[in-house]
Amino acid sequence: MTELPSLRDVVDKYELMAKKSLGQNFLLDQNITDKIIRLSLEAQHKPDFSKDAVFEVGPGPGGLTRAILKANPQRLTVIEMDTRCIQIMHDIQDAVGAQLQIIEGDALKYDFTANDFTDRHIISNLPYNISVPLLTMWLKNIRAYRSLTLMFQKEVAERIVAEPNCKAYGRISVLAQLTCRVKTLMNLNPSCFTPAPKIWSSVLLFVPHDDTPSAEVLQKVEKLTELAFGQRRKMIRQSLKSVPNLEKICAELNIETTARAENLTPQQYLQIAQKI
């Protein structure tokens, strides 16, 4: 890869202006992309990705792609729907060979588990406009992955790690914290990106809990949080009134039905889900 042109030269060569419709903001500083991978590996106590399959969504000009490849994954699969970036990926593929697999398409429709790898990681500077739907999709099937290293708008990241009893706490907080240990690896100034967004970004590491809830229970948690946070100003005896035997379940779990959505911990939502 040492023969590859600089990222800025790549952007100039392909006239790669970021598309707002695709939620693109390009990270062109290789020092930063290298640091993201280094921090992710250190937090997981891993020397590299040499035995693993890594997936990247929206690689753009390939800054993070290059950093991942330096960590020597057994295979790196990039999923990209911007045809301008596909040729850039082919340029990198020419340098590294079959280690890089290129998928042109929509990540929301891609089956990330349709291979025989047991150690899967997802690493991505996520397109802003689909970051939460992608994360939700992965968390529902989190047992299929070893880790997720993902960049979000800082405001979204704060929602993910938010604790109960605050405005930022919501459905994605509950789902993320029930399924994973979530760690903030770094925050990035808007000036790090091209074009510069108006807000900061954050990189989060998600490592699945050893005892993640089953898909069936998580589906119930999703329904509960949809009901509760859909009327977050109301007491749960009202917002969750459609839940059978709610009063009895809450009494058994020592949960006050006068509590509101943001007052319940992720574990309490899980406990209710396990009883319905």
Same-domain check for residues 171 and 250:
no
- The count of structural domains within the chain is 2
Same-domain check for residues 197 and 246:
no
Is residue 84 a part of any domain in this protein?
Answer: yes
Tell me what pLDDT residue 196 has.
74
Tell me what pLDDT residue 1 has.
65
Alpha-carbon span 253 to 268, nearest angstrom: 8
Q: What is the dihedral of CA 70, 73, 77, 82, to 10 degrees?
A: -10
Flag whether pLDDT at 245 surpasses 80: yes
Distance, CA of 187 to chain centre? 15
Residues 269, 122, 220: CA angle, nearest 5 degrees: 20
| Confidence band of 19 (pLDDT split at 50, 70, 90) | low
Same-domain check for residues 50 and 70:
yes
- pLDDT (tens digit per residue) in 187-201: 999 888 877 778 899
Same-domain check for residues 103 and 238:
no
- List the domain range (segments joined by +) for residue 183: 7-208
Tell me what pLDDT residue 21 has.
58
Which parts of the chain are beta strand (E)?
A: 26-27, 53-57, 75-80, 100-104, 120-125, 147-153, 180-188, 193-194, 201-208
Same-domain check for residues 120 and 245:
no
Asked which of 169, 187, 208 is the last residue of a domain, the reply is: 208
- pLDDT (tens digit per residue) in 66-83: 999 999 999 999 999 988
Is residue 2 a part of any domain in this protein?
Answer: no
What percent of the chain lies above the pLDDT cut of 70? Answer: 96
Residues 141, 144, 149: CA angle, nearest 5 degrees: 90
Structure letter (DSSP) for residue 111? -
- Of the listed ranges 24-38, 68-82, 143-157, 252-266, the one predicted with least confidence: 24-38
Same-domain check for residues 97 and 174:
yes
Tell me what pLDDT residue 15 has.
72
Say which residue, 123 or 12, is predicted with more confidence.
Answer: 123
The mean pLDDT of 206-216, rounded to a whole number, is 93
Asked which of 208, 225, 251 is the last residue of a domain, the reply is: 208
CATH number of the domain within which 224 lies: 1.10.8.100
Contact 53, 115 (CB under 8 A): yes
Is residue 1 a part of any domain in this protein?
Answer: no
Q: In what order do the strands lie in the sheet with 53-57?
A: 100-104, 75-80, 53-57, 120-125, 147-153, 201-208, 180-188
Is residue 247 a part of any domain in this protein?
Answer: yes
Asked which of 193, 208, 223 is the last residue of a domain, the reply is: 208
Same-domain check for residues 227 and 96:
no
Contact 88, 112 (CB under 8 A): no
Is residue 267 a part of any domain in this protein?
Answer: yes
Tell me what pLDDT residue 197 has.
73
CATH number of the domain within which 101 lies: 3.40.50.150
Contact 53, 123 (CB under 8 A): no
The mean pLDDT of 83-109, rounded to a whole number, is 94
Q: What sign has the CA pseudo-torsion 108, 113, 53, 121?
A: positive
| Confidence band of 12 (pLDDT split at 50, 70, 90) | confident
The mean pLDDT of 9-38, rounded to a whole number, is 78
Same-domain check for residues 130 and 259:
no
Is residue 130 a part of any domain in this protein?
Answer: yes
Contact 233, 224 (CB under 8 A): no
Contact 182, 205 (CB under 8 A): yes
Same-domain check for residues 26 and 83:
yes
Name the residue among 33, 35, 125 with its Cα closest to residue 78.
125
Structure tokens at 104: 């042109």
